[in-house]
Amino acid sequence: MYNDVYHQLHQLPVLPPLHPPPVYSPSSHQLAADSYYAGTPSSQATSITARSSISSLAAAQSHWPSQDRALSAALKGEYLSTIQLSDPVAMLPDFHHAPPVHTLPLHSPPAMPLPQPSQQPQILQRQRSQSGRYSMQDFVFHRTLGTGSFGRVHLAQSTHNKRFYAIKVLSKEKVFKLKQVEHTNSEREMLSEVRHPFIVNLWGTFQDAKNLFMVMDFVAGGELFTLIRKSQKFPNAVAKFYAAEVALAIDYLHSINIIYRDLKPENVLIGADGHVKITDFGFSKRVLDQTWTLCGTPDYLAPEVVQSRGYTKSVDWYACGILIFEMLAGYPPFYTDTGNSNPVALYEKILLGHVNYPPHFDPLAVNIIASYLTPDLTKRLGNLQNGSGDVFAHPWFQEVDWEKLYNRDIPAPYVPKLDRDGDASQFERYDEADLSEYGTVGADKFAHLFIDFN
């Protein structure tokens, strides 16, 4: 299987011939949103060991390790489909007490504006009312897709529309003991506010007396991390394809003042159509200026984060440089033999900033990586006067038709082999949980900590 993936990625052309820079009209990509309330007629509603993240709240502990494949589906055009078609309880006939559901009309252009010379303008930022809309009875739980420090991700099927979803189940007690309450609530908040073709969708949340449940898309292709390991390293064009889609997602988050802070191959998922979905928003945060929290994955931390200085959204662009290097080389630019068990030596290398570029790297790839990785914030790509416009205009991306890429009209270099809906063959097998522990009723001493999951 590894050889098959290697040859597939190293033989296929990825990007079309050079296109002139697309002309974007922000006004042409604005959407009107409709609201449907309960009772609206349906006719009207349309194990490769991976790195873990660190947090100042739980140093060297992963708040949700890479085995958490918070996995989201990427059927082409799904992000434009109405709630009626995609919501897990859409087919429930008498769901009379649901909060209003905000939908996007099927005939509309993409939900997010395309990249501008500065940044993507803000999309409709109204938070989707999804908390507490579901229960255990709305799903049939299947196999485990991944496990983490305080929970696991299940493949589940809606009993109403029969679609498959990934449901992250978190133990309230473990979240509390590991001091991850803030990060868990932050992930729910951030995911409930975003909608982008290259970011995982959160459909809703619910809870019982012991657990939190997050209903997300099932992304059938697994992690970019695994794909890199199977292929050993990516050809220049393949790395460019994934880096471009990630750049669009990061720019969108920044346009609504969200800093992501945990970019790494383990958090970039491959959809059924081969396009990416960024997941795991536990470290994301709304930032207007600076923040100081030490969190993220050691290999991907910017120098200013390591130094405990105030930092901005530019740390995400720094991480893009690390990601491109790792895709092209098969390993990150800064690493130590001890891994992340003792990150001090790694931090020293990050602060020194010396990068040894393999000879096979394209010169333009070297240039964009170096521009991302510069410790001088006044020179870092993505943090200059033109913002993300400098990223999209970089010569390494010169043949990228951004509009086609955004619309997923450029064929992906790798499409996972899947036999059916709900095919989870791209994920490792795990010991299964006792499902009888889900849906517990009774006293809940942690309820006040997770009121937004209700």
Give dist(CA 400, CA 310) in Å, integer.
34
Give dist(CA 248, CA 405) in Å, integer.
9
Q: Which residue has the tokens 């290398």?
A: 349
Helix (H, G, I), strand (E, B) or coil at 34: strand
Buried b (16+ CB within 10 A) or exposed e, 54-69: bbebbeebbbbbbbbb
**Could you tell me where the beta strands, DSSP code E, fall in 244-376?**
258-259, 268-270, 276-278, 285-286, 295-296
Give dist(CA 40, CA 126) in Å, integer.
20
Catalytic residue among 138, 251, 262, 390: 262
Give the gyration radius of the chain's Cα atoms: 21
Helix 314-329 to helix 363-373 angle (10° resolution) is: 150
As beta bridge partners, residue 156 has 141, 165
User: Does 262 participate in catalysis according to the annotation?
Assistant: yes
Backbone angles phi, psi at 124, to 5 degrees: -50, 120
Give dist(CA 129, CA 301) in Å, integer.
34
| Two tokens, residue 282 | 């536990």
* CB count in 10 Å sphere of residue 364: 15
Q: Of 320, 121, 146, whose CA–CA distance to 216 is shortest?
A: 146
Enumerate long-range contacts of 344-353, CB under 8 Å, 24 or more apart. Answer: 346/298, 346/299, 347/298, 347/301, 347/306, 350/301, 350/302, 350/303, 350/306, 351/303, 351/306, 351/307, 351/375, 353/303
| Two tokens, residue 190 | 């951030």
Give dist(CA 205, CA 213) in Å, integer.
5
| Two tokens, residue 41 | 């007629």
Give dist(CA 432, CA 441) in Å, integer.
22
Give dist(CA 257, CA 247) in Å, integer.
15
- Is 168 marked as a binding-site residue? yes
Write out the binding residues.
Answer: 168
Q: Which residues are catalytic?
A: 262
Write out the binding residues for ATP.
Answer: 168
